[in-house]
Amino acid sequence: MRLTALIATGTLLAAHAAVAQVPVLKILTYDSFLSEWGPGPVVEAAFEATCACDLQFVGAGDGAALLARVQLEGAASEADIVLGLDTSLTAAAAATGLFAPLSAVETDLPVAFADAYFRPFDWGWFAFVYDRTRLAGPPASFEELAASDVKIVIQDPRSSTPGLGLLMWVKAAYGARAGEVWAALADNIVTVTPGWSEAYGLFLQGEADMVLSYTTSPAYHLIAEKDESKAAAPFVEGHYLQIEVAGKLRASDQPALADAFLDFMMTDGFQAAIPTTNWMYPARTPAAGLPEGFGALISPDRSLIFTAEDAQAIRVEALAEWQAALSR
Amino acid sequence: MAGRALPLGLAGLVLALMLGPVAALALWAGGLALLPADWAALRFTLVQAVLSAGLSVALAVPVARALARRRFAGRGALITLMGAPFLLPVMVAVLGLLAVFGRAGVINRGLEGLGLPGLSIYGLQGVVLAHLFLNLPLAVRMILQGWQAIPAERFRLAEALDLGPQGIARHLERPMLREVLPGAALVILSLCLTSFAVALTLGGGPGATTVELAIWQAVRLEFDLAHAAGLGLVQVAVSALAAAAAWVWVRPAGFGAGVGVGAMPVIPAPGGATRAGDALAIVAAALFLLVPLGAVVLRGMPGVSELPPSVWSAAGRSLAVAVVSALLAVTVALVLALAVAQRGSLVIELAAALPLAVSGMVLGTGLFLLLQPVVSPQAVALPVTVGVNAALALPFLFRLLLPEARALRSDYGRLADSLGLAGWARLRWLVLPRLARPLGFGAGIAAALSMGDLGVIALFAGEQGVTLPLMIQRLIGAYRMEAAAGAALVLVGLSLALFWACDAGGRRAAA
């Protein structure tokens, strides 16, 4: 008995030592990226097949929690790469001085993208998603929505990334009139939830006619559930973009490996996993194209986005407008 | 009895676990900060918490009294099932409530069918309704426990003296309520002070901003840890004030010893209008609690069959966490309650009240700051979850055990002392048998709470060590709502089974 235990311990230690010789790349990311339904497992297997290394994902709650985590850990972070920030947060992230500069890459984003510290891995347009069987003629703009009695559920910009995206969307579309638009929307808003999942759950349960999500959300229902009833409503103002990025931490002890991963990130091994695991558009369209079902999605011809610096500068004012308009 | 060092040490440990994270944030940021807008958030937080706690205990009294004095088929099962809402993960409970009270819920569909205007659940009314749904079961059980703790001999004596319902209320029931209600209200108040998802989702908009949301904003959007620490301290201060008030108001009922504690049907059960009133209280509470629960079950059924294997391993992990944290919580709560029963101590009272009042966000962030220099947070995700869950269950357990520990002390303390019954023997032959009922019930609550709590694991977990609540969150995050509803049903079923096993075990040991 004791001998067996000893042998088992020995084997375990040996196995551990063997693993320890392989370089480890640690990637800090949001929880749904590393979950078994997210891109994490596919990406890990594909990269490990090329790198003779051990890729480990470290979870940090959701996207908005990532930046706080990076700031908490500071230079002491064990992570080499942070993956999953979006452009509403990159200015603050760059200002920490914790990220290393990266070279620019070619992308298939609908807008020009240049950032000294971050490289995009996927993107999506925010949109209001509705159920065709419950809502026949969806509004085609914020003003039409405000004038209608269509009920929407949105996320709180103070606790959720899509919520912050919507704040930016209205600001980008209406500028100084944003407060006015929010005041007009107030009676359409059923409620404001802390995060995307609560809002989407409420919408699916029939509490609202539309929910703030992405133009790609209907693809999930179409591909995974063979359900064609969900659609995103195109808005004439254009749709705000969410661009998700990754950056390399300056304090990384595996800088070469991190660079290798960030290059791998732009290849099909990573990009082809994105559409049907993260339900977003890949930053670089894979050779095989997008999966069937993505063709049925709306494709806005106007993309709205603030630069990272503008998004950072506008946030406080836009948040105050939003709060004032909806608290009344 | 054992010295004061152990209980005071444990209380200090709990206080350190709760206040250390707040201090860590403040130290990291080099100060504390509050903003003018925080007062509006504090006002809303207080209003909804006071209303929720007040209504929960006020409505629980008639229900508990009816359940205490009436006997009917299925009573035991009803009492167990009625406890279930308290064990639901918050968002699952909200979706269940919305199936009944929501815009597309049963009630509004019915009103629409009758051509009547609909009711809106979104706003302060919805927040209070949801808190009532989540906490009424707890209040009912705590008060019911109080009724059962009145020795049967007292009711027989009251009958022999022909006291009548008024007399019984004055001499037996009101003193019992005076002892039990402040503690129950305190626990629920503290719970509602840190309410986050319920207050926000049902609050309807930024008018319903709570202190907890302000903390989220401070940590994640602004990374202003000084502000987060300031807000966290406000939550703690409010809860500490409430704990101090409860400490002042509580009067031990002092019924004296009896052999018939918790015995069956001796509580006088008048007929006529009182009987009808009791029936109404039970039926109304059962409908209010069980219909939304039914909606949760219906939503979850289709998803159960297609659950991935990882859900079951997560369920196993959650069960293990639940059992260990329940054992830990019961042990600490028993030591603290026995110590306070012997001699009051504000420090212990505070240690037993604060865990519910500390913001989950402050706790998670602060623990992260404290642990990160020493150990990788992923490596300790499960032990930290066990510790935090045990601390969070402590207030419930302490409030449940304290009245009975006091009664035990006043009824048997001198006899046990004179017999030289001390230490392990006293625990084995006196304390555990006499307190078996609240211990079992409390362990059940602690275990079930720990099962359902997402807690700090969301901030700490990596690819491994996923618990069931985190798994549910990941399923929802991946659009798999049906599977998530199925996993939530598994969670509710396991929590309820665990709760029932502990509760029934306690009752059997007491009988």
CA-nearest of A207, A202, A192 to B200 is A192
SS3 content of chain A, % helix, strand, coil (to 5): 45, 20, 35
Which residues make Cβ contacts (< 8 Å) with residue A137, sequence separation at least 6? none
Instruction: Tell me if chain B has a CB within 8 Å of the CB of A96.
Output: no
In chain A, ranges of CATH 3.40.190.10 domains: 2-123+242-291, 124-240+297-327
Q: What is the DSSP string of B443-457?
A: HHHHHHHHHH--TTH
**Is residue B263 a part of any domain in this protein?**
no
A54: helix, strand or coil: strand
The verdict on a CB contact (< 8 Å) between A279 and B479 is: yes
**Cα separation, B294 vs B291, whole angstroms:** 5
A252 with A258: CB under 8 angstroms?
Answer: yes
Question: What are A34-74's pLDDT values in tens digits?
Answer: 888 899 999 999 999 999 999 999 887 777 788 888 888 88
Q: Give buried/exposed letters for A13-42 (b at 16+ CB in 10 A, else e).
A: eeeeeeeeeeeebbbbbbbbbbbebbbbbb
Q: What are phi and psi of A30, to 5 degrees?
A: -80, 160
As a CATH number, domain A124-240+297-327 is 3.40.190.10
Q: What is the pLDDT of residue B466?
A: 81
Percent of chain A with pLDDT over 70: 94
Q: Which residue has the higher pLDDT, B271 or A33?
A: A33
Measured between CA atoms, how close is A219 to chain B, in angstroms?
A: 11
Q: How far is CA A233 from CA A144, A280, A298, B20, in A?
A: 12, 17, 8, 49
- How many residues appear in chain A? 328
First to last CA, chain B: 26
Instruction: Tell me if chain B has a CB within 8 Å of the CB of A113.
Output: no
From chain B, pick out residues whose CB is under 8 angstroms from the CB of A156.
200, 206, 213
Nearest to A198 among B104, B201, B205 (CB): B201
**Cα separation, B90 vs B130, whole angstroms:** 9
**Cα separation, B253 vs B142, whole angstroms:** 15
**Cα separation, B438 vs B427, whole angstroms:** 15
The half-sphere exposure of B396 on its side-chain side, counting CA atoms within 13 A, is 31
Sign of CA dihedral B92, B228, B21, A164: positive
Instruction: Tell me if chain B has a CB within 8 Å of the CB of A40.
Output: yes
Question: What are A85-103's pLDDT values in tens digits?
Answer: 998 889 999 999 999 999 9
Q: Which amino acid makes up residue B432? A: L
C-beta atoms surrounding B42 within 10 Å: 20
Sign of CA dihedral B291, B295, B301, B302: positive
Residue of B216, B311, B312, B361 to mutate when probing chain A, most A C-beta within 10 A: B216
A121: helix, strand or coil: strand
**Is residue B63 a part of any domain in this protein?**
yes
B422 with B1: CB under 8 angstroms?
Answer: yes
Q: What is the pLDDT of residue A11?
A: 47
DSSP code at position B462: B
From chain A, pick out residues whose CB is under 8 angstroms from the CB of B196.
194
Q: Give buried/exposed letters for B104-131 (b at 16+ CB in 10 A, else e).
A: ebeebeeeeeeeeeeeebbbbebbbbbb
Q: What is the pLDDT of residue A12?
A: 47
Q: What is the pLDDT of residue B212?
A: 86
**Is residue B292 a part of any domain in this protein?**
yes
**Is residue B265 a part of any domain in this protein?**
no
Question: Which pairing describes strands A24-29 and A81-86: parallel, antiparallel, or unpaired?
Answer: parallel
- How many residues appear in chain B? 511
ipTM of this complex prediction, to 2 decimal places? 0.84
Residues of chain B with pLDDT under 50: 1, 262-263, 265
**Cα separation, A28 vs A56, whole angstroms:** 9
Q: What are phi and psi of B90, to 5 degrees?
A: -55, -45
Q: Domain containing B14: what range?
A: 5-256+272-510
User: Could you identify the residue written with the tokens 């790349």?
Assistant: A25
DSSP code at position B149: T
Query: Minimal Cα distance from B216: which residue of A?
Result: A159
The half-sphere exposure of B402 on its side-chain side, counting CA atoms within 13 A, is 29
Q: The domain spanning residue B326 has which CATH number?
A: 1.10.3720.10
**Is residue B264 a part of any domain in this protein?**
no
Residue of A35, A96, A314 to mutate when probing chain B, most B C-beta within 10 A: A35
Instruction: Tell me if chain B has a CB within 8 Å of the CB of A259.
Output: no
| Mean pLDDT value across residues A309-328 | 89
Q: What is the pLDDT of residue B266?
A: 63
C-beta atoms surrounding B35 within 10 Å: 13
Question: What are B240-289's pLDDT values in tens digits?
Answer: 888 888 777 776 666 766 665 544 546 777 778 888 999 999 999 999 99
Instruction: Tell me if chain B has a CB within 8 Å of the CB of A42.
Output: no
**Cα separation, B369 vs A280, whole angstroms:** 33
Top-level class of domain A2-123+242-291: alpha beta
**Is residue B262 a part of any domain in this protein?**
no
**Is residue B261 a part of any domain in this protein?**
no
**Cα separation, B96 vs B290, whole angstroms:** 10
Q: Which of residues 180-199 of A touch B (CB under 8 A)?
A: 186, 189-194, 196-198
Instruction: Tell me if chain B has a CB within 8 Å of the CB of A158.
Output: yes
Which residues make Cβ contacts (< 8 Å) with residue A16, sequence separation at least 6? none
Query: Minimal Cα distance from B374: which residue of A?
Result: A76
Helix (H) or strand (E) holding B284: helix B272-304
Task: Tell me how far apart the 2 most distant CA atoms of chain B are, in Å.
Answer: 74
Question: What are A171-188's pLDDT values in tens digits?
Answer: 999 999 999 999 999 999
CA-nearest of B207, B88, B95 to B491 is B88
Q: What is the pLDDT of residue A191?
A: 93
How many domains, in total, are found in chain B? 1
**Cα separation, A301 vs A282, whole angstroms:** 18
**Is residue B474 a part of any domain in this protein?**
yes
Instruction: Tell me if chain B has a CB within 8 Å of the CB of A71.
Output: yes
Measured between CA atoms, how close is A200 to chain B, in angstroms?
A: 9
**Cα separation, A129 vs A78, whole angstroms:** 39
The verdict on a CB contact (< 8 Å) between B221 and A158 is: yes
From chain A, pick out residues whose CB is under 8 angstroms from the CB of B204.
189-192
Give the distance, in angstroms, between the CA of residue A206 and the centroid of all CA atoms in the same chain.
25
